[in-house]
Each structure stands twice: as structure tokens, then as C-alpha cells.
A and B are shown apart, each in its own frame.
Chain A
């Protein structure tokens, strides 16, 4: 059973470009969470999604950031018009739907560098 997959692992963008980060949850998992880790800091929650629904986006910046988890395919975290402050590691985690409070399993992260 493959773990949580994220791609790309590393992404370099210039200021003003768009960044798209992908996350495929573990097989059988339908809850997806995105977290951001700034350099030398802990992880901060961004958004929680289930298939085709955003459940909690309280940690998402109000502008330029969006997330989706379509019926088919991976979850996407999209950052428009990136700025240098967006440089960070972005982690996706997943958990199964059937068991409430099941542990979240993390992907390897995407390191975004904005030049």
C-alpha cells in the first residue's frame, strides 16, 4: 500500500508565476490536509478537504491560495502570483473516512523556492 504521494518534490518559481502542488492520498483515504512549514518553524495548518468539498480553510491566506480535491485525481494546492514569502515546504496528509480521529499520514512534502 503506497503512502501519501506528493509531486513535485522540489519546485522553483519566479515571482509572479503560479505554483501547483499535487497530493495523492493513501489508498482508501478520502480526507486530505495541507500544511505549510516555513524555514525553522513548525507546520501550520492550511486547509482540510474531502472529495469535492472544502471542510476547513481557516488556515488559508485570503488571496492567491486555493485548494481542491476533485472526485477523480489528486488534491491540488494552487498558489497564484507567488512571492518570496511563499518559499516553504508544503506537506499533504491523509486519513481514512471510516474511522473518526484516525491518524494523519504525511507525504514527503514539496519544497517551493520562489526566486
Chain B
């Protein structure tokens, strides 16, 4: 079974600064996918970024980028130029490859962006 660990329950960052959220996972699979989802106070789950394990290049989406270290089973999210609207819970998630399958989520990191 896969497990996803987010060791930072809460983080705070000032507006316009950069913050990195940590995520590690444990799996015996070689092919899989990793995701970061954002859950703002509205509780809607919003996809932030996705990474295929077979790709060495780190995924980037505008101000969001990841540092994917497959050997270390680490998948951190970097948010640059933080904005007040980035305030949310952030969940790291794992999906094994092969067939469409379930997501396994971490416990989340609550990010507060301050003025």
C-alpha cells in the first residue's frame, strides 16, 4: 500500500515571498503520478500541479513548481511570489499507474499568506 506524508501541518509566508511545502511518499511501484491539490476556505479541491514519475523534468505551472526526487521519494511544492489567494490547505496525492485508480492523499499543510 502507498502512503503519503506531509510533515508540516502549518506554514506561513509573507505576500510576494517564496514558500516550499514538503511531501514524501512510500511505494514499491516504479510508475506512478503525483499531484498537489489546493483546498481554499470554500473547501473546493483544485488541482495545482501534476508530475509523471517517468519524467525527469520537474513540472511547472506559472508560480507553482515542484522538486521531484524519485530516489528520495520526495515531491515538494514551491510557490513563488505568494499571493493572498494562495491561502489554503494543500494536499499532496499519489496515484499508481497502469489503470485509472484512486488517489492517496497526505494529511495536508495549511498555508497562510500574510501581508
Give A contacts to B, CB under 8 Å.
Answer: 31, 33, 35, 41-45, 48, 56, 58-59, 89, 91, 93, 95, 100-106, 108-109, 111
* B residues near A42, Cβ cutoff 8 Å: 91, 105-108
Of the candidate stretches B61-69, B72-80, B94-102, the one touching chain A is B94-102
- A-B contact list, 19 entries, CB within 8 Å: A31-B100, A33-B102, A35-B103, A35-B105, A42-B106, A43-B45, A43-B103, A48-B100, A58-B102, A59-B102, A95-B100, A101-B33, A101-B97, A101-B100, A103-B47, A106-B44, A106-B46, A108-B43, A109-B44
B25 within 8 A of A: no
Contact call B91/A43, Cβ cutoff below 8 A: yes
Q: Which of A33, A56, A89, A103 contacts B43 (CB 8 A)?
A: A89
Q: Which of B91, B97, B103, B104 contacts A104 (CB 8 A)?
A: B103
The SS class assigned to the A binding surface is strand
Decide yes or no: A56 and B101 within 8 Å by CB, A89-B43, A105-B47 being known contacts. Answer: yes
The listed residue with most B CB atoms (<10 A of its CB), out of A43, A89, A100, A111, is A43
Interface range, B side: 20 to 34
Contact call B100/A102, Cβ cutoff below 8 A: yes
Minimal beta-carbon separation of A30 from chain B (angstroms): 10
The 8 closest A-B pairs by CB, nearest first: A106-B45, A45-B102, A42-B105, A43-B105, A42-B107, A108-B44, A42-B108, A31-B100
CA of A59 to CA of B101, assembled, Å: 12
* B residues near A105, Cβ cutoff 8 Å: 47
CA of A89 to CA of B44, assembled, Å: 11
CA of A108 to CA of B50, assembled, Å: 20
CA of A106 to CA of B45, assembled, Å: 6
Minimal beta-carbon separation of A67 from chain B (angstroms): 13
Can you name the residue of chain A whose Cβ is closest to the Cβ of B35? Answer: A103
* B residues near A111, Cβ cutoff 8 Å: 43
Minimal beta-carbon separation of A35 from chain B (angstroms): 8
* A residues near B99, Cβ cutoff 8 Å: 100
